[in-house]
Structure 1
Amino acid sequence: MAAERTAKRRRLSPPSEAVPGFAQWNIEQDYESRPRKDKKDKKSDKLLVKTAEGWKENERLKKVVLEEDDADSFLASDDDAGDSGVADVESRSPAKSVLPPKEQIRQAKEELARVAGNISENPEENVGQLGVLAELAKSGNVTVKKLALGTMLAVYKDIIPGYRVRPQSKEDMAAKVSKEVRKLRDFEHGLLTGYKEYVKMLGKLVGDKEMVAVAIACTTALLTAVPHFNCRNDLIAIVVKKLGSRGISAEARKCAEALEQLFRDDEEGHASLEAVSQLTKTMKSKNYQVHENVLNTFLHLRLLDEFAHKASTNRIDRENRHGDDEPARKVSKKERVFRTKRERKVMKERKVVAKELQEADAVVSYEDRDKNQAETLKLVFVAYFRILKARVQHLMGAVLEGLAKYSHLINQEFFGDVLEVLKDLIQEAEAALMPDDDEDEDEEDEMEIDAAAERNVTREALLCVITAFALLQGQVDVAKSAAGLSLDLQFFITHLYRTLLPLALNTDIELSAKSAHLLDPNGLATPTAKDTKVNVATTTVLLLRSLHSVLLPPTATKAVPPVRIAAFAKQLMTSSLHLPQKSTIAVLGLLREVTKTHSGKVAALWNTEERRGNGVFDAKGGAVESSNPFAATVWEGELLKLHFDPRIREGVKAVEGNVVIKHER
């Protein structure tokens, strides 16, 4: 048998008596006598100084270093001072270093780039870093603040979802949900909280002169990029507030362009209804003393005209799944995915359910859209009629332009009232052009009508004529029964006939209402075009639009009598002798269309052997029917054939060619 192994014993430390002299050691005294590292022995990295005794350290620099070390010590105190140690430390602590502006901007750029990159890379995990961007936006440096606002704009446009976030209630926060749902809710809550603070910040910065441009740029960008998201009313309120002044600035023009784009892109009508509601309330509170660009935004609304066009009767438009250019092709049997009979049945049932849900959603969206657009149209017409009633002169062009565009949407019950208002406007325009004979001759210079004012009232009357005919043409049912109305368009036709000759002598007929007449150092008028979109047509264009409505109406209205066509044709040929070159070419083009359509009714004017009336033609007569046009001949064409412009000579030949050819046939 093997010998048993003995257990190992742990070696114990020898007793204290084993070390001779241990008891006689004085440990504290030995520690006290050790050499210590004094502050005075602090190694200096300064250059040595050559002295008579050799190379040594600079005593002056060494003294400065020691004083700084003593000042930094919390134990250092001033014996002469009676304050406490804390106060002494505060008084002796060095001033906090301030970075130069360029360094602040550089560091801010790096921080903004880092935080924006983290948020864009993983929004759900790093949504809390939006607070870092908000803190940088509160910086005292204006450049850093602008960079932070621009960065926040780019980040929010990138991470905002395509739906509206519903604010969470206390019950939602306390409910037990899955980990994924809780993560999504936390992201939405953090995003909505930061976005609200950002919009509120933009609203405050609009009043700052240094930050107004950046704030308006961010607001308009958010309004046009994410109009479906929360805080849309707040963004619209910022834009509308900027438009609530009589003057127009670069920021206000940008706000108007943002509203126009919002109206064009809005399909459901919710955003348009909110914007129009706030605009009309603001204009009413300002007593309609706003710039006309605010009212011109209504011309970009999508009001009940989504399905104005008709579908084709001979073909069916199908959606091409393979793209617009690539033709659709049939799928071969090899490319088809094999499915069992049960799977095909389930897919068929799912398609039926999806189609029903899609139709139900479409019906609801169409109903909501029609309701929103109807409310929007009501607000627009109420604003137009109030402006007409208040006679806001600088908004008349925009109002009449809007009424002419949306004339087919006006209710038949208001048709007579609108024509009555237009008639009053024309009478006021005529009264403004009439001189007052009761004043003394010494004040004749002060009583002369200003050229710009005369042009404005003339344009206003022409716009009324255009609007009246647009209202009549837009209402087919009203046009058929126009004779039964108490008001007739004869008043507008007569006024247009009386203004033909005065307009021919107007030197500003080829200028628009937006052409400012400024005097140069030589005293000459120089037109300067302004940046606007509505009411910029020249007086010649307005005149041609009015004449086209009178002489070439659509088929829905009644036929034009020959006397009216002959009277206007004679007056237009006479006016062509005095009109400028471009206006004469345009008038001859209109006469070419008139003679091509109504050659049989006006052929006698170009033939002296076929007189239909006796007496004398009254060119200055007020009424069209009593002017006796067939007693005259169109002799002005012979003079226009000698015009220096070859286009005018060709235009006269074309007019006479239509009359002669049709008359011979």
Structure 2
Amino acid sequence: MATERSAKRRRLSPPGDSVPGFATWNLEQDYEQRQRKGKKKEGERLLVKKADGWKEDERLKEVARLEAEAAKDDSDQASEADEQDSGVADLEAPATTAQPDVPVKEQIRQAKEDLARIAGHISESPEENIAQLGQLAEIARSHNVTVKKLALGTQLAVYKDIIPGYRIRPLSKEDQTAKVGKEVRRLRTFEQTLLAGYKDYISHLTKLAQDKTMRPVAITCATNLLISVPHFNNRNEIMALLVKQISFRNLSPETTKCCEALSQLFREDDQGHASLEAVTQMTKMMKTKNYHVHENVLNTFLHLRLLSEFAHKAGTNSIDRAPVGDEEDVKKPPKKKDREYRSKRERKVMKERKAVAKELQEADAVVSYEDRDKSQAETLKLVFVAYFRILKARKSHLMGAVLEGLARYAHLINQDFFGDVLEVLKDLILEAEAALEPTEDDMDVDATEEEEEDELDAATERNITRERLLCIITAFALLQGQHDVVKSVNTLQLDLNFFITHLYRTLLPLALNADIELSSKSAHLADPNGLATPAQQTQGKETKVNVATTTVLLLKSLQSVLLPPQNTKMVPPMRVAAFVKQLHTLALQLPAKSAAAVLALIHAVGKTHGNKVAALWNTEERKQDGVFDARGLEVEGSNPFAATVWEGEILRHHWDPKVRDGVKGVDGVIRGVLGGGEGREGPSIPVRR
């Protein structure tokens, strides 16, 4: 029996609008706006005969213009309705803005809700809602300053959350036309949309950085991006924004924030690529500005990790070793009874695989080391070029930062440039001495002008004194960092006695300096409890050189002369005795903290050179005839062994207990050298009460 075929039914659409925005379509209006075949163009209208010939009718021309404007308005309204009813989010779709009659507080409240909702959607599913970044960008362009700041902060948090751990490669024309799978197309759409939004965000921050009101927020967002995602695209644009902010001579909060961000980037950069890009832009900026920048800009170079082979994170002075407890937590090999059984062939294959994996790992490490060393070598070259150009230009406000940088990277300076650097330091000291000498014009001034010049000379002398001490510290730091140079000093004909003699001449004037415990940056000591001891200075625990107090600079210079770490025994006795005698005289005039620090240095010198200076405490024996010349210009010509250290008896009655303890410590060391405490002490000097 044949089955009866059922009647074919027409397929009906489900109730309701299946297409978004279908209810707002106006088919008749679209048909009316469609261009007719017989519609005449603007130049084909009928002409009207007038007195001067056939002309186009002005009334018809005006009517045609009005019709065209009306058609354009209708098409704009239709397109806006389509965009509002479409369910697809667009990157550049305009967000709903507050009406002008809405109060400001209500606008801020609505903006907070919108920002929280959009940020939540993007964080929950970045690949699906990545197009909503356009809505955040539109809110960030609001006229309300508070809303704009909130939107910038929200964009910063969203980008830090969704940016991947790799750099996105822009698609080429071949990649765009190539056929790919659904997952690859989805990933490419996410990456390119993220990259476009991120680039627009950085360009917006660059524009806002020029506005005084929005500059702090823009700089904060830029510094956070540079520290959080330095590996991502558009890194050069962020660096250019920060470098532009630090190109001014005056120090502002934004400049300080940018310098701190660059310093942190230098410390955390393991590969060296980001550091090379930043240093390149900074050196170009300083050269363009003729080095009229703040010294904090140069101080950022001190945080670079240059040419150091390390397995752990390390700086230029120390290596962060793994904690001791980590060695105990290493997994021990299993016992023989617990090992998994493998045949001889399996063990052979596994051994070969381990060897291949080890070779691949070493190859990758070699490539990484070579790439990093290349980047760091270029960075070091740029830094030294900037330092030497500043020295050549004699930029006085940058001398402290430059000299400290040279001292920090002394072990990286080529031996061929070593003599030239010392000659430049020598010229700086001679120029500083010449600046302190009075000229003929200074003699022919009135009394009022003389008082004003005395105040100026006092300030100038303080700066010049610091500059001279910095030159001495840098010269000896260069020698300590160069082992080969120390052995070949005579071959290079380096005049190091010049720096020692100049330091000896500086001691007595420094005793009368009222600002010896003041730094160049603040009016108080950095350490309220006291100054850094020589042992702490040797371990690198002191503050930076160019911001240290004058006392700390003096102690570092004396330590380099009297306690060199490499050839301590080669210091002549005449030099040690002359400095020890002058330091006791200096301690009588210095403030309590500085006097205690000087006595601590003498105590360290006594432990090392006790046999060389013990005669200064012995009144019964004299190794040399004549008179001690405290104001002599030469160290060896001062005849120190013709004098005794009588200042210690006065310092025993000092009001500060730390100074009294320092004197007792020095006497104890000398008594141990002279015979274990049973021998002779210094002369007893009566003190008038």
Q: Is the 8 A contact 1:462 1:543 kept in 2?
A: yes
3-state DSSP of counterpart to 1:123: coil
Q: Is the 8 A contact 1:513 1:536 kept in 2?
A: yes
Paired with 2:120 and 2:341, the residues of 1 have a C-alpha distance of: 45
Partner of 1:452: 459
Residues 562-617 of structure 1: CA distance to partner in whole angstroms, max 9, x if unpaired?
Answer: 00000001101111111111111001000011111111111111111121111111
- Size of the aligned set, in residue pairs, is 555
Partner of 1:440: 444
Residues 241-262 of structure 1: CA distance to partner in whole angstroms, max 9, x if unpaired?
Answer: 0000001111111000000000
Q: Is the 8 A contact 1:164 1:230 kept in 2?
A: yes
Paired with 1:656 and 1:215, the residues of 2 have a C-alpha distance of: 62
Q: Is the 8 A contact 1:108 1:144 kept in 2?
A: yes
Paired with 2:100 and 2:675, the residues of 1 have a C-alpha distance of: 100
Residues 401-429 of structure 1: CA distance to partner in whole angstroms, max 9, x if unpaired?
Answer: 11110011100000110000100111111
Partner of 1:635: 646
Paired with 2:433 and 2:321, the residues of 1 have a C-alpha distance of: 57
Residues 86-142 of structure 1: CA distance to partner in whole angstroms, max 9, x if unpaired?
Answer: 9xxx9xxxxx76322212111111111111111111111111111111111111111
User: Following TM superposition, by how much is the alpha carbon of 1:535 offset from its aligned partner in structure 2, in angstroms?
Assistant: 1.9
Partner of 1:594: 605
Asked which structure has the greater CA Rg, the reply is 1
Partner of 1:229: 232
Gaps spanning 5+ residues in structure 1: where?
Answer: 1-82, 91-95, 312-316, 518-531
Name the aligned partner's letter for residue 381 of structure 1.
Answer: F
Q: CA, structure 1 residues 477+166, in 2 after alignment: closer, same or farther (shift >3 Å)? A: same
Partner of 1:497: 504
Q: CA, structure 1 residues 106+533, in 2 after alignment: closer, same or farther (shift >3 Å)? A: farther
Partner of 2:517: 510
Establish whether residue 295 from structure 1 lines up as the match of residue 298 from structure 2. Answer: yes
Gaps spanning 5+ residues in structure 2: where?
Answer: 1-65, 75-98, 315-319, 525-542, 677-689
User: Following TM superposition, by how much is the alpha carbon of 1:502 offset from its aligned partner in structure 2, in angstroms?
Assistant: 0.6
Q: Is the 8 A contact 1:501 1:575 kept in 2?
A: yes
Name the aligned partner's letter for residue 513 of structure 2.
Answer: N
Paired with 2:343 and 2:368, the residues of 1 have a C-alpha distance of: 37
1:303-342 matches, within 5 Å, as: 303-307=306-310, 326=329, 328-331=331-334
3-state DSSP of counterpart to 1:124: coil
1:634-653 matches, within 5 Å, as: 634-653=645-664
Establish whether residue 461 from structure 1 lines up as the match of residue 468 from structure 2. Answer: yes
Partner of 1:585: 596
Name the aligned partner's letter for residue 461 of structure 2.
Answer: E
Residues 179-218 of structure 1: CA distance to partner in whole angstroms, max 9, x if unpaired?
Answer: 2222211111111111111111111110011111111011
Pick aligned residue for 1:211 from 207, 211, 214? 214
Name the aligned partner's letter for residue 124 of structure 1.
Answer: E
Q: Is the 8 A contact 2:312 2:321 kept in 1?
A: no
Establish whether residue 370 from structure 1 lines up as the match of residue 373 from structure 2. Answer: yes
Establish whether residue 619 from structure 1 lines up as the match of residue 619 from structure 2. Answer: no
Q: CA, structure 1 residues 352+175, in 2 after alignment: closer, same or farther (shift >3 Å)? A: farther
Name the aligned partner's letter for residue 546 of structure 1.
Answer: S
User: Following TM superposition, by how much is the alpha carbon of 1:499 offset from its aligned partner in structure 2, in angstroms?
Assistant: 0.7
TM superposition score normalised by structure 2: 0.76
User: Following TM superposition, by how much is the alpha carbon of 1:663 offset from its aligned partner in structure 2, in angstroms?
Assistant: 2.1
3-state DSSP of counterpart to 1:577: helix
Let me know the Cα RMSD of the aligned residues.
Answer: 2.9
Q: Is the 8 A contact 2:273 2:375 kept in 1?
A: yes
Establish whether residue 154 from structure 1 lines up as the match of residue 157 from structure 2. Answer: yes
1:409-488 matches, within 5 Å, as: 409-437=412-440, 439-440=443-444, 442=446, 443-448=449-454, 449-488=456-495
Pick aligned residue for 2:546 from 524, 535, 538? 535
Paired with 1:165 and 1:558, the residues of 2 have a C-alpha distance of: 60
Q: CA, structure 1 residues 456+261, in 2 after alignment: closer, same or farther (shift >3 Å)? A: same
Paired with 1:298 and 1:241, the residues of 2 have a C-alpha distance of: 17
User: Following TM superposition, by how much is the alpha carbon of 1:440 offset from its aligned partner in structure 2, in angstroms?
Assistant: 1.7
Partner of 1:358: 361
Q: Percent identity?
A: 70
User: Following TM superposition, by how much is the alpha carbon of 1:447 offset from its aligned partner in structure 2, in angstroms?
Assistant: 3.6
Name the aligned partner's letter for residue 585 of structure 1.
Answer: A
Q: Is the 8 A contact 1:473 1:557 kept in 2?
A: no
Residues 412-460 of structure 1: CA distance to partner in whole angstroms, max 9, x if unpaired?
Answer: 0001100001001111111122223552252433442432221111000
Pick aligned residue for 1:576 from 580, 587, 596? 587
Name the aligned partner's letter for residue 611 of structure 1.
Answer: R
Residues 146-179 of structure 1: CA distance to partner in whole angstroms, max 9, x if unpaired?
Answer: 1111111111111111111111101011112222
Q: Structure 1 stretch 415-424 or stretch 435-444: which is displaced more? A: 435-444
Pick aligned residue for 1:188 from 164, 180, 191? 191
Paired with 2:326 and 2:294, the residues of 1 have a C-alpha distance of: 46
Q: Is the 8 A contact 1:512 1:537 kept in 2?
A: yes
Paired with 1:511 and 1:146, the residues of 2 have a C-alpha distance of: 41
